[in-house]
Amino acid sequence: MKLAFQLAYKNLVGAGLRTWLNVGVLAFSFIIIIFYNGLIDGWNEQAKHDSIAWEYGNGQLLHADYDPFDPFTILDGHGVLENELSKNLAPILLRQASIYPEGRMFSVALKGIDVNQTTLKLPTASLKNSNAKIPAMMGINMADAANLKKGDEVLLRWRDQGGTFDAAKITVVDIFETNVPTVDMGQVWIPIRKMWKMTGLENHTTFYVANENFQPSNISGWKYQSQETLLSDLNEIIAMKKISGSIMYLLLLAIALLAIFDTQVLSVFRRQKEIGTYISLGMTRAQVVGLFTVEGSMYSIFAMILGSIVGIPLFAYLAKIGIGMPAASRDMGVPLAERIFPVFGIQLIVGTILLVVIASTIVSFLPARKIAKMNPVLALKGKLQ
């Protein structure tokens, strides 16, 4: 085997430009595969981190009648949880409402939140410190859509406990920036105590967000959704994105492998005299097949070295400064930061190396198998077989 590597190295280096073209294409594939997966992994990490920090906490305790995917359950999906059980939980009361910025009606999810909570990253201290009659905060995308800015007053209309419409002006005391659209778009946040008074639903909560000290247990009338459950949708979206992206890089890899395959097929034809010489010098056919296969694999090893020379500084730079994402991408409804910091883990790099090395070995072996059936006499004469 050592001999095959020695000979393959000499043959490849001796082949000059043909080798370096294949190596270049394969190295490019290496870099693209690692870059794209690193970007997705970085996005995954960022999206999970932000979703936990801004929305999911350590899990959520939902009222049994509330279904986050069914807006009709908002009206009745709330209840009161005993004080003793609500330790380590941040309460949120959800009602449907409308605001009227510049006379336009704007349907919103009105969310009451405990101003003292520290479980979520929402800047509820702004609500606490405000002297406004009904202080409110919203995300920057919501504020943009409603054309509202800090200090603006806007009319809010909601239904109280009995279903009667009521209205009052709220003051926008804070506009926060977040990557999590589900706490931003169409959401208005006010103190929960104000909301209890406005709706008459004293001490009622639609769902709680748990902190890390919360111990889940069966509580009658409430259902617990773990952090993993809440993140499952996000995981599915990212997995889908990874699959769709993988088509692109598999195509690229296929082109690179095709170049190796093509070179190998050509080699077996063009180097027949050489093959015959190897056999006449005492190499077995299996050794010659092995030599040609190792030559093909070596393309991927050279590509790995070239890819490392180009890729390591590039990836280190990108991992440090991040990659800017276009604003339009944030409309997808998935947490997406302005800059994503790719994550280039060992698993990704080792996995990619194995994928490329194994794939290039296979495509090298396929044409090399022909050598095993070659007649050495005809090979020495360079006759096509």
Summarize as ranges the residues that interact with other proteins (CB under 8 A).
Answer: 3, 6-7, 10-11, 13-15, 273-274, 276-277, 279-287, 375-377, 380
Cα separation, 225 vs 94, in Å, equals: 17
Least distance (Å) between residue 278 CB and other proteins:
8
Asked whether the beta carbons of 363 and 257 are under 8 A apart, the reply is: yes
| 89 versus 288: smaller Cβ distance to other proteins | 288
| 2 versus 320: smaller Cβ distance to other proteins | 2
Contacts of 283 (CB under 8 A, 6+ apart): 291
| 114 versus 295: smaller Cβ distance to other proteins | 295
Burial annotation 279-306 (CB, 10 A radius, 16+ → b, else e): beeebeeebbbbbbbbbbbbbbbbbbeb
Counting Cα atoms < 13 Å in the Cβ hemisphere of 32 gives: 19
Least distance (Å) between residue 270 CB and other proteins:
11
Counting Cα atoms < 13 Å in the Cβ hemisphere of 102 gives: 7
Q: Which residue has the tokens 């090395």?
A: 357
Least distance (Å) between residue 258 CB and other proteins:
24
| 232 versus 375: smaller Cβ distance to other proteins | 375
| 9 versus 100: smaller Cβ distance to other proteins | 9
Least distance (Å) between residue 380 CB and other proteins:
7
| 224: helix, strand or coil | strand
Helices vs strands, H then E, count in the chain: 10, 11
Asked whether the beta carbons of 189 and 134 are under 8 A apart, the reply is: no
Q: Are strands 165-176 and 135-139 parallel, antiparallel or unpaired?
A: parallel
Counting Cα atoms < 13 Å in the Cβ hemisphere of 116 gives: 3
Least distance (Å) between residue 11 CB and other proteins:
6
User: What's phi and psi for 205, nearest 5 deg?
Assistant: -140, 140
| 21 versus 140: smaller Cβ distance to other proteins | 21
Least distance (Å) between residue 49 CB and other proteins:
53
Cα separation, 270 vs 384, in Å, equals: 9
| 229 versus 280: smaller Cβ distance to other proteins | 280
Least distance (Å) between residue 344 CB and other proteins:
36
| 286 versus 305: smaller Cβ distance to other proteins | 286
Q: DSSP assignment, residue 330?
A: G
Q: Which of 68, 33, 27, 22 is CA-nearest to residue 233?
A: 68
